[in-house]
Structure 1
């Protein structure tokens, strides 16, 4: 069965493909989304709906606190007045005018010894590894995945909760077996839980959920020996969506990790086994969109699939009016999804025809 897509919006946006990975899109507690796009030594913040309506001027611009250093995914406060950056040796909060509001030093991601740097030392160590940060939806705390030193040949890593006003540490959790190449954090719409997906490079993925109640911090791992990437959550759905590191299956989980549904990709015309791409999510509370582009040798055969959000049963493939779309898709949870047209340099928003 094929379901026809309807083009809702299209805006020319060089570099807009970054929004398909989810790292450059930040969903707030009210369901709205911001686009966080890095341009040189600045972070441009756009309200996504305004951007898709053609408003290319950013709502806010933040200078990078230390230009030239590598950073993990940034996060912006709910009022848009400050941004937080996960740097190679510190988490930093920055105001719009570039003023550093506070700094939380930690072990160095790029330094094999995990040694601490002095405040006066500006050198950034080589290395692609990085942590991540996420401002809570109420703007009161910052969750940060940090390197905290080394023990023998192994880097120690922690998940810390910082006071958004001054960067003071409120709580921390040790992350066992973590040796991150990078990480991403995703707030649950309930405002209480947050997920942390830690990429270990070729060694797989670790997935943790946590909840903070006052001074108490609790965390639980979901992987249980399996490599699962945290893909998405939705306000109208009780669970969350993961994809196996190699794309073997999609799963719906209850918040405690219990598997509610599972779906392997359907065999296509190619002889090689198909696999799900890492980018997938909730179109709305009833529908999941996933793709199989990476396992198709011919981009023309790449397909977007719509699945039932409760059972993961396949409803059908998406048919685009102008022909196949060889782009990953980023579902937005409001009944629409994004793709990016490299040839035209446009960010496109779609919905199912009739919606």
Structure 2
């Protein structure tokens, strides 16, 4: 399957993430926050506090999590409010990793990794809306729901070094957190309150209550090569298909991207104009598009499926719109 290239932009990028506007990233030379629309055209550019920065954005605000604390600005860079990590209640803030945040439906979600807490803020005023304690501390990152009616939080628990995934919702303004069973790394949501995850045991699709599990090992996929490794990077595109990255030691730093159905059937291998470097799969949106990044060339590229995948065809069959 050959995808359609929608757009590309040059420059060293980091902290690439989907947002309510489309996308956002840190442009490293010079250090700026770039907010993009769904077509990867630049909406705005503002200075980045430092390079260890996580960002999120909506149509009105940009939230920046840096070693200096949590800052919310307008799109022209005007600061609306700022909190140091000590003021947020974060314990032992560090300089090598900053808490993740996410703007969704007029709420700013923030995960305090050392304090093991989730906070919601009003992005316009900085007023704390709610705070929820988690059982374990650890580095975390948010995964958005394509319809923004739920949010997921992945946590790597330290020093135990195992994964947790939580489904988050707001119930009358209060945070509701439901731990997802045996989730591994949650990569995205699927219709019917299901989710897709990757982990040491391979691939999994299951309902949020733990029922109706579908599991598959990478070695079970067609044309699987011995020693094939599954990258932690995987995305759901659009709501009913999954893109995973696999590689072997003989790939010399390159990887393949495989397209699967929601029941983990193999559809096809993505054929890009140029081979993809390892760890190039970065993010997906609810519009059936995804980003790849080549750190050697310094190019961020936006792709979409060039046609319609026929769920009723045989595995691997691609049916195109006329």
Could you tell which deviates more after superposition, 163-172 or 187-196? 187-196
- State the partner residue of 1:317: 269
- The match for 2:26 among 37, 62, 65 is 37
- Specify the SS of the correspondent of 1:285: coil
Greater fraction strand: 2
Question: d(CA) in 1 for partners of 2:51 and 2:12?
Answer: 20
Distance 2:61 2:241 in 1: 34
From 256, 262, 271, give the equivalent of 1:303.
256
1:85-135 CA-partner distances (Å, limit 9, x unpaired): 2234632212345433123344399x9xx36xxxxxxxxx75423211111
Query: Using a 3 Å threshold, how does the CA distance of structure 1 residues 344 and 191 change in structure 2: closer, same or farther?
Result: closer
Indicate if the aligned counterparts of 1:196 and 1:209 stay in contact, CA closer than 8 A. yes
Counterpart-to-counterpart distance in 1, 2:156 and 2:67: 16
SS at match of 2:270: strand
Tell me the residue number matched to 1:266. Answer: 219
- Judged with a 3 Å threshold, the aligned counterparts in structure 2 of structure 1 residues 173 and 99 are, in CA distance, closer, same or farther, namely same
Structure 1 residue 284, shift from structure 2 partner: 2.4
In the TM superposition, what is the alpha-carbon distance from 1:201 to its structure 2 partner?
Answer: 6.5
1:239 and 1:24 map into 2 onto residues whose CA distance is 25
TM-score, with length taken from structure 1: 0.72
Task: Give the alignment's Cα RMSD to 1 decimal.
Answer: 3.2
Q: 1:1-55 CA distances to partner (integer Å, 9 max, x unpaired)?
A: xxx3144335351225x4xxxx522242xxx62233334443121214153xxxx
Matched residues in 2 for 1:157 and 1:94: separation? 25
Alpha-carbon contact 2:152-2:167 (below 8 Å) kept: yes
Q: TM-score, normalising length from structure 2?
A: 0.78
Given candidates 54, 60, 64, the residue that maps to 2:44 is 60
Shift of 1:200: 3.9
Question: How many residues are paired up?
Answer: 301
Aligned to 2:97: 129
2:56 is equivalent to residue 75 of structure 1: yes
Residue 216 (structure 1) aligned to one of 158, 174, 195: 174
Give the superposition deviation at 1:144.
Answer: 0.7
| Structure 2 unaligned blocks of 5 or more | 308-319
C-alpha distance after superposition, 1:232-253 (max 9, x if no partner): 235x564222111x4x311123
Higher relative contact order (CA 8 A, sep 6+): 1
Q: Does 1:287 align with 2:245?
A: no
